[in-house]
Amino acid sequence: DGGITQSPKYLFRKEGQNVTLSCEQNLNHDAMYWYRQDPGQGLRLIYYSQIVNDFQKGDIAEGYSVSREKKESFPLTVTSAQKNPTAFYLCASTQGAGANVLTFGAGSRLTVL
């Protein structure tokens, strides 16, 4: 079945460490997104990519980095510069940009110890 796979599901990090969250899709979707979810705040866009080797900052990109070397993969690195990284991270994809339906992964929960 087609879908989005995020890993790991749970991740613990010490302060000062970088961590990378994986997002892989086999839907042949062009666009991929990373969102951060905090209780009571909805979803906030971190980065998005509409084509391979290109990506754009979202609303809260500071302290994060991404790459899009392959169409099916869009990893997110949470760097030590991110002041409050503990959150639930969701990856999503869609066939094209704009008003298209997003398909979401199951999420990765990052906790900083």
Which residues bind to other proteins, rule: CB under 8 A?
Answer: 4, 6, 33, 35, 40-45, 48, 58, 88, 90, 92, 97-99, 101-102, 104-107, 109
Instruction: For residue 43, list its beta bridge partners.
Output: 37
Q: Can you read off the two tokens belonging to residue 13?
A: 């990090």
Comparing CB distances to other proteins, the nearer of 80 and 103 is 103
Kindly state the smallest distance separating residue 98's Cβ from other proteins, in Å.
4
Give the contacts of 17 (CB within 8 A, at least 6 positions apart).
Answer: 80
Comparing CB distances to other proteins, the nearer of 53 and 100 is 100
State how far the Cα of 48 lies from the Cα of 12, in Å rounded to an integer: 24
State how far the Cα of 48 lies from the Cα of 67, in Å rounded to an integer: 10
Kindly state the smallest distance separating residue 43's Cβ from other proteins, in Å.
4
Kindly state the smallest distance separating residue 112's Cβ from other proteins, in Å.
18
